[in-house]
């Protein structure tokens, strides 16, 4: 029996290449390819897919949310996350969202088909390097509001911009940014944004 696979990745070229690569496997059949996370759950249901392979970074609905949607819509379908960046926090978030596997795009190509098979058979697949780092960095120390404000600051706006966007006073925004900077270890706002991003603590 073949494994029915749905692939979602925002880069068409990567998506196509992955589909072609995995389609060569005798026991894997690619039944759908998506460019964003929004339609993944529906596609999984429509094609009775066994495994959904999702990129974390996608426009619209991100991969983590898409994973949760898939689990809700089709509990029997396993989710394998594939991501470009090995942000430690992503792993934890993905697992909490119900993903069964998590590999980075640096994974040798031939191991990918094997990962799909393991996930399909109910095993968990986690990139070993990533698992180690994940234990290191642990949960995000940021509160919801701190993360929200820091995220709003990530495009370089002023305190006033952020305050307006988040419906907070400027003083409060400064407080949150200050707290976030202390927790992330950054000495400036911009550095904290970068650090939090690298840890996978934002989105």
Residue 71: which of 35, 91, 95, 105 has the closest Cα? Answer: 95
Work out the number of other CB atoms within 10 angstroms of the CB of residue 24.
9
Site map 20..59 versus a copy of itself, x via CB under 8 A:
xx--x-----------------------------------
Alpha carbons 93 and 97: distance in angstroms, whole number: 6
CA angle 152, 200, 45 (to 5 degrees): 95
Tokens coding 163? 């305050």
Pick the binder of a copy of itself from 138, 157, 171, 185 (CB under 8 A): 157
113 binds, among DNA, a copy of itself, none (CB under 5 to 8 A by kind): none
Tokens coding 194? 């970068």
Pick the binder of a copy of itself from 106, 114, 132, 170 (CB under 8 A): 106
What is the nearest approach in angstroms of DNA to the Cβ of residue 142? 9
Ranges of beta strands (E only) in the chain are 3-8, 28-34, 51-55, 78-83, 101-104, 125-126
What is the nearest approach in angstroms of a copy of itself to the Cβ of residue 194? 5
Q: Is 115 near DNA (CB under 7 A)?
A: no
Helix (H) or strand (E) holding 112: helix 109-120
Q: Which residues form the interface with DNA (CB under 7 A)?
A: 143-146, 158-160, 168-169, 171-172, 174-175, 177-178, 181-182, 187-189
Q: Which residues form the interface with a copy of itself (CB under 8 A)?
A: 11-18, 20-21, 24, 82, 84, 104-110, 112, 153, 155-158, 186-195
């Amino acid at each position: 029996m073949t494994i029915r696979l749905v692939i979602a990745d925002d880069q068409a070229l990567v998506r196509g290449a992955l589909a072609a690569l995995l389609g060569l496997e005798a026991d894997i059949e690619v039944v759908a390819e998506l460019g964003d996370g929004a339609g993944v759950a529906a596609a999984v249901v429509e094609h009775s897919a066994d495994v959904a392979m999702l990129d974390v970074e996608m426009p619209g609905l991100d991969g983590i949310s898409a994973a949760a949607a898939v689990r809700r819509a089709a509990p029997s379908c396993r989710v394998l996350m594939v991501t470009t960046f090995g942000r430690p926090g992503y792993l934890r978030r993905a697992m909490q969202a119900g993903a069964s596997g998590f590999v980075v795009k640096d994974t040798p190509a031939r191991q990918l088909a094997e990962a799909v098979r393991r996930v399909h058979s109910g095993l968990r697949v986690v990139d070993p390097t990533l698992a180690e780092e994940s234990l290191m960095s642990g949960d995000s120390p940021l509160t919801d509001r701190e993360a929200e404000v820091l995220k709003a600051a990530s495009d370089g706006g002023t305190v006033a911009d952020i305050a307006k966007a988040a419906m907070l006073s400027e003083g409060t925004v400064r407080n949150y940014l200050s707290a976030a900077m202390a927790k992330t270890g950054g000495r400036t706002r911009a550095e904290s944004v970068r650090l939090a991003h690298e840890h996978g603590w934002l989105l």
